[in-house]
Amino acid sequence: MIKMENQTKLFYLKDVEDFRDYEMLDTGGGEKLERFGKYVFVRPYEDAIWPKTFSYQDWGKADGKFWSSKVGAKAGWKITKKITAKWEMEYKSIKFLVSPTPFRHLGFFPEQASIWDFIENKIKNSSRKVKFLNLFGYTGIASLFALRAGAEVTHVDASKQTLNWAKENQKVSGLENLPMRIIADDALKFLEREEKRGNKYDAVIMDPPKFGRGPKGEVWKIEEMLPKLLAQVQKVLSNEPLFVILTSYATDSSALSLGYALSEIMQRWEGRTEAGELCVLEKSNNRAISLANTALWSAK
C-alpha cells in the first residue's frame, strides 16, 4: 500500500539563474510584480497580505497591469507602454511565446519550472520509451520538456486557440519533427475513449482548472469532476507507470487533499507520493512565494 509523505514540501527552483527570462521582483498589497523577458507586469496575488518592499515608483514603472474585478475596477489588462503582441522566452533551451491573456496569465506558469525539470530528468533517465500524457496541457511547455527527453507525447486541451499556441511553441523550440499528438478534446471524454481503445500511458500530468468548458460546451467543476478524472486516469496507466503529477490553482484546494487523492489511485503500484506547493523565489526578500498546490507520485 502506498503511503503519502506526512508533510507537505515546497517545489521551487533552487537556482533562479536557471530562469534568466523571468523574475518575481516583489509582492505585497494583494499584488505581484514580475518580469517576463524585457517587460514588467503587475498582476493580482490576493495571498500577498504583507506590505510591498519596492517603492511606489518602482511598481509604477511596470509596462502593464491586470486589474481584478474584486477591487472594483474594470477587469482586464491596462497596458501602459507599447509591447510586442507575442515575444519569445526561454528556460533551459526550451523556447516559448508569451503574451498577456484575458485571464491574467501570459501563456505559461513560471512556478512549474521545477516540475518541468522533474519531467525531463525522469524520462531521460528511464531505460524505456515513455508514453507521456498532458491533460489540460495549455500551451505545452511541460509537453516540450517530455518531448525533448525522448517521450512519445499526447497533449490534450479543450481550447483550439491554446493548442495553436502549443504548436507555435513546439516550432520555436525546434521540436516540430518529434512525435507529439495535439488533441482538442474534453479531458474526461478523451480518457474514456482511450480506455476503450486500450491505450496506456507511462506518465501523466494534469492541471485541471477550477471551472471551465470543453470544446462542445461541457462544464467542468473541479470539486465534482476531479474524483472522476483521477479514477479514469488510473484506467489508462501502463503496468509500470513512471510518474503522475496533479496540480491545482483552485483557492479552496490543499496540497494534502491532492496528495491523498493521488495516493489512493496509485495504491496498485510501488512508489512514493509527495504533496506540496509550487513556488517562485521573490527577488526583494528571497521568500518562497506559493502560487499553486501539487501532488506528485513517482515509481521507486
Cα dihedral 94→209→274→153 (10° resolution): -40
The C-alpha cell that represents 198 in the structure block: 486500450
Q: What is the mean pLDDT of the segment spanning 243-254?
A: 87
Q: Check whether 140 has a pLDDT greater than 70.
A: yes
Mean pLDDT of the chain: 92
Query: Which residue ranges make up each domain of the chain?
Result: 9-15+107-299, 17-88
CATH 3.40.50.300 fits 9-15+107-299, yes or no: no
pLDDT value of residue 61: 96
Between 122 and 68, name the one with better pLDDT: 122
Q: Check whether 212 has a pLDDT greater than 80.
A: no
Q: Which residue bears the cell 507520493?
A: 273
Q: Which residue bears the cell 496498485?
A: 268
Q: What is the mean pLDDT of the segment spanning 125-130?
A: 95
Superfamily of domain 17-88: Golgi alpha-mannosidase II (2.60.40.1180)
Q: What is the mean pLDDT of the segment spanning 109-135?
A: 96
pLDDT value of residue 126: 96
pLDDT value of residue 252: 72
How distant, in Å, are the alpha carbons of 126, 151, 170 from that of 211?
35, 30, 27
Q: What is the mean pLDDT of the segment spanning 115-121?
A: 97
Q: What is the C-alpha separation between 259 and 249, in angstroms, rounded?
A: 14
pLDDT value of residue 14: 64
Q: What pTM did the predictor assign?
A: 0.93
pLDDT value of residue 2: 45
Q: Nearest CA to 293 among 262, 267, 265?
A: 262
Write the CB contacts of 51 (distance below 8 Å, at least 6 apart in sequence). Answer: 28, 29
Span 187-204, pLDDT tens digits: 999 999 999 999 999 999
Q: What is the mean pLDDT of the segment spanning 32-40?
A: 98
